[in-house]
């Protein structure tokens, strides 16, 4: 009988959600949302256009999503903008992406300032063209005291490379007697990643129907929830971000415990 009732409750909750109950519970917001913005090329191809047309239109999706995240009250958003593997794409496409980065940073500075957003970047930034590095550093400096939302751009980013770097830096400290092997724990590792000042990821969103991680934040997503949508990135808007957050809020994050333990606050 008990399990019948529970099942009924579950069905009611689901029906409510499916009927379009789009209310976000602001007491249960994901602190850190990481987004794999995928599908620009296929979006353009579907329209009979070149891949770079998709990248240009992806910027609108970035703008709307960031604005939405700020409105909802999300604290950190990491956007996967360019992976180390993406350097292997045709030179023309890489050039367009780098130029887009520079022009968007220039254009979107007002959006960042108006919404009190602090820009940050992670990845092998030294590989970026000098102009992109300069623009990025300028916007990072200008927005450094903003407090409402951290926008963390993963550019020329590889999670494995990030972990390799952490190993190297930790090893250096051991060799120099600044750290002992006994002291190495999760905190020490966290503090040697590019994301050292950020909370762990609560929600990963990937667009375009692909269901893989593609070398993104491997350590930080250890207990993240995953949300996949078939939308191509240029079609993604703040309402889709809200849908993802509502979906996230229907989940029970057990962190290894049982459902009963969580309900009894154990
Ligand atoms: C995401 O879209 C943007 C980057 C990876 C830079 P893609 O360019 O990967 O588009 P698809 O996946 O080929 O459609
Ligand atoms: C992942 O997308 C990287 C970014 C979104 C920047 P890709 O399109 O490069 O990933 P794969 O190659 O399909 O795994
Ligand atoms: Mg892709």
pTM of the model: 0.92
Closest ligand 2 atom to 37 CA? 5
At 15, list the tokens.
Answer: 């029906």
To test ligand 2's pocket by mutation, which of 82, 214, 218 has the most ligand atoms within 8 angstroms of CB?
214
The CATH classification of domain 7-247, taken from the options 1.20.58.1030, 3.40.960.10, 3.40.640.10, 3.40.1180.10: 3.40.1180.10
Q: What is the DSSP string of 77-126?
A: EEEEEEEGGGGGS-HHHHHHHHHHHHHHHHHHHHHHHHTTEEEEEES-GG
Give tens-digit pLDDT for 10-58.
444 443 444 455 689 999 999 999 999 999 999 999 999 999 999 999 9
Instruction: Report residues near ion ligand 3: CB below 5 Å.
Output: 38
Give tens-digit pLDDT for 207-222.
999 999 999 999 999 9
Distance from Cα 126 to the centre of ligand 1, integer Å: 22
Sequence ranges of the domains in the chain:
7-247
pLDDT at 185: 98
Cα(243)–Cα(203) distance, integer angstroms: 12
Cβ(234) – ligand 1 distance below 6 Å: no
């Amino acid at each position: 009988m008990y399990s019948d009732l529970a099942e009924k409750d579950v069905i009611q909750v689901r029906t409510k959600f499916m009927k379009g109950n789009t209310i976000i519970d602001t007491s249960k917001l994901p602190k850190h949302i990481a987004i794999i913005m995928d599908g620009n090329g296929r979006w353009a191809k579907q329209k009979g256009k070149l891949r770079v047309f998709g990248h240009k239109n992806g910027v609108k999706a970035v703008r709307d999503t960031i604005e939405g995240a700020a409105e909802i009250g999300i604290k950190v958003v990491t956007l996967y903008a360019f992976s180390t593997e993406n350097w292997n794409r045709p030179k023309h496409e890489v050039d367009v992406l780098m130029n887009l980065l520079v022009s968007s940073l220039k254009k979107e500075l007002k959006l960042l300032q108006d919404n009190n957003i602090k820009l940050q970047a992670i990845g092998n930034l030294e590989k970026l063209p000098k102009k992109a590095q300069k623009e990025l550093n300028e916007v990072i400096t200008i927005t450094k005291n903003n407090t409402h939302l951290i926008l963390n751009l993963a550019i020329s980013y590889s999670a494995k490379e990030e972990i390799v770097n952490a190993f190297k830096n930790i090893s250096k400290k051991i060799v120099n007697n600044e750290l002992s092997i006994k002291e190495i724990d999760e905190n020490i590792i966290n503090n040697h990643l590019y994301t050292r000042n950020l909370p762990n990821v609560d929600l990963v969103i990937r667009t375009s129907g692909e269901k893989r991680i593609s070398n993104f934040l491997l350590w930080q997503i250890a207990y993240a929830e995953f949300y996949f949508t078939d939308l191509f990135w240029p079609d993604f808007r703040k309402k889709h971000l809200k849908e993802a957050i509502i979906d996230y809020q229907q989940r029970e994050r057990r962190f290894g415990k049982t459902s009963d333990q969580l309900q009894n606050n154990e």
